[in-house]
């Protein structure tokens, strides 16, 4: 990594017309006064695809970040006092085999279109890795994956599962039955509902599922209990999850908690965002965490999944998706009518300083990942 940085620096210096000794100081944490320039850069990159209030989003995620361990987890690159590149960060606690370590997620890597292709994105990545030696990042498209793979280790792939709730659009587009389409779709919807019902073979249990307004310290205790040898996960806490899901200005999330008496045994977070373009009426299972079993070896996770799915159906979702890397969630998804989409994958990359620690992360063994580990909506 050091050699690559030393090679790339002179190239970026020449391409941008900035003296090599000034490159590092051109890339630094943003301050509140940089907000107009940040918004201009993000608009230039996103163009007409920006459906949200970006100022509210940037303030929430970066400038007013409640869980920050650095003054501002949004770094900007300036040339002639104009912001031409930026990279967002999210400080997290990564728990590896029961041992907690500070880590950073890299998000929102952006280069202004007129400076694209000059190595600036790679340079920003390298600078941040020097400062934050344990980092994770997700390749959201082929181009970003190619760039990231040169500097990070491709560790695992997020797997995507989907449950079709209403099949009208599928019938219309694929079967093209004309006036018969509504009748065929209605039969298909009924069969899908029956299939979900049959799959939900219920054993007697004492689990009570409640909708939560916010998380409390019980979720922090649950996360600690599940931070065990053989598992790699981002630590959950009430503070973090409430910031991430309750105070998120871009999308409403719904929280369901599972209880046995007064004991908190798990949760699930869902969303159905109708503010963004969503012609397929797709909703998502975003995050979850649960004990392996409760009474008589009953797993709470399938029950939480069922409650979350039913809630999304009542809200009008036609399709529900779930992204994961978690062996334990597979039976819960299958039990609720989700089917794996083997051709849909999203690469997850890591980089860490100490050699043995990097090897452990890069092994891919024991990772627990949900959509909440890469998705910022």
Give me the tens of pLDDT residue by residue for the chain, a chain 377 residues long.
Answer: 554 667 788 889 898 999 888 888 899 999 989 999 999 999 999 888 889 999 999 999 998 866 655 567 899 999 999 999 999 999 999 999 999 999 999 988 899 999 998 989 889 988 898 888 899 988 766 666 777 777 788 999 999 999 988 665 665 666 565 666 676 666 666 666 666 666 666 656 789 999 999 999 999 999 999 999 999 999 999 999 999 999 999 999 999 999 999 999 999 999 999 988 898 899 999 999 999 988 778 899 999 999 999 999 999 999 999 999 998 899 999 989 899 999 999 999 998 877 889 999 999 999 999 999 887 66
Q: How far apart are CA 2 and CA 130, in angstroms?
A: 8
pLDDT given at position 295: 77
pLDDT given at position 65: 67
- Determine the 3-state secondary structure of 185 from DSSP: helix
CA distances from 14 to 77, 84, 292, 366 (A): 15, 16, 56, 44
pLDDT given at position 9: 84
pLDDT given at position 350: 92
CA distances from 280 to 100, 276, 321, 366, 373 (A): 40, 11, 12, 34, 24
Q: How far apart are CA 74 and CA 58, in angstroms?
A: 9
pLDDT given at position 189: 63
- Contact assessment for residue 287 and residue 372, using Cβ atoms and an 8 Å cutoff: yes
pLDDT given at position 178: 67
CA distances from 23 to 191, 219, 260 (A): 61, 43, 56
Q: How far apart are CA 82 and CA 111, in angstroms?
A: 12
All domains in the chain, ordered by first residue? 2-132 (3.40.630.30), 159-373 (3.40.630.30)
The structure tokens listed for 171 are 């019938």
Q: How far apart are CA 138 and CA 36, in angstroms?
A: 27
Q: How far apart are CA 142 and CA 129, in angstroms?
A: 22
Q: How far apart are CA 228 and CA 232, in angstroms?
A: 8
Residues 6+ apart with CB under 8 A from 103: 91, 92, 93, 94, 132, 134, 135, 136, 234
């Amino acid at each position: 990594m050091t050699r690559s940085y030393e090679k790339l620096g002179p190239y970026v210096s020449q391409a941008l017309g900035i003296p090599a000794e000034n490159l590092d100081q051109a890339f630094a944490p943003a301050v509140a006064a940089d907000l107009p320039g940040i918004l201009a850069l993000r608009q230039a990159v996103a163009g007409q695809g920006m459906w949200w209030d970006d100022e509210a989003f940037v303030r929430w995620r970066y400038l007013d970040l409640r869980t920050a361990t650095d003054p501002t987890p949004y770094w900007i690159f300036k040339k002639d006092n104009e912001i031409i590149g930026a990279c967002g960060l999210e400080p997290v606690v990564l728990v590896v085999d029961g041992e907690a370590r500070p880590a950073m997620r890299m998000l929102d890597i952006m280069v202004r279109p007129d400076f694209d292709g000059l190595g600036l994105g790679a340079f920003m990545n390298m600078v941040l890795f020097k400062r934050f030696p344990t980092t994770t990042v997700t390749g959201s498209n082929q181009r970003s994956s190619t760039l990231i793979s040169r500097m990070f280790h491709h560790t695992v792939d997020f797997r995507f599962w989907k449950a079709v709730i209403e099949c009208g659009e599928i019938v219309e587009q694929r079967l093209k039955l004309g006036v018969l389409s509504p009748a065929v779709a209605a039969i298909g919807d009924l069969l899908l509902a029956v299939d979900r019902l049959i799959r939900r073979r219920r054993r007697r249990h004492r689990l009570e599922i409640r909708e939560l307004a916010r998380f409390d310290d019980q979720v922090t205790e649950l996360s600690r209990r599940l931070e065990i040898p053989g598992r790699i996960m981002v630590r959950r806490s009430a503070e973090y999850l409430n910031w991430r899901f309750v105070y998120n200005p871009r999308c409403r999330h719904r929280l369901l908690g599972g209880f046995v008496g007064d004991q908190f045994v798990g949760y699930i977070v869902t969303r159905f965002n109708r503010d963004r373009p969503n012609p397929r009426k797709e909703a998502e299972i975003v995050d979850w965490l649960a004990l392996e079993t409760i009474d008589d070896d009953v797993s709470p996770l399938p029950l939480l999944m069922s409650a979350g799915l039913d809630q999304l159906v009542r809200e009008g979702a036609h399709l529900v998706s779930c992204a994961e890397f978690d062996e334990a969630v597979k039976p819960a998804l299958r039990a609720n009518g989700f089917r794996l989409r083997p051709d849909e994958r999203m690469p997850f990359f890591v980089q860490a300083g100490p050699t043995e620690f990097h090897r452990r992360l890069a092994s891919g063994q024991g990772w627990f990942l949900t959509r909440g580990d890469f998705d910022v909506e």
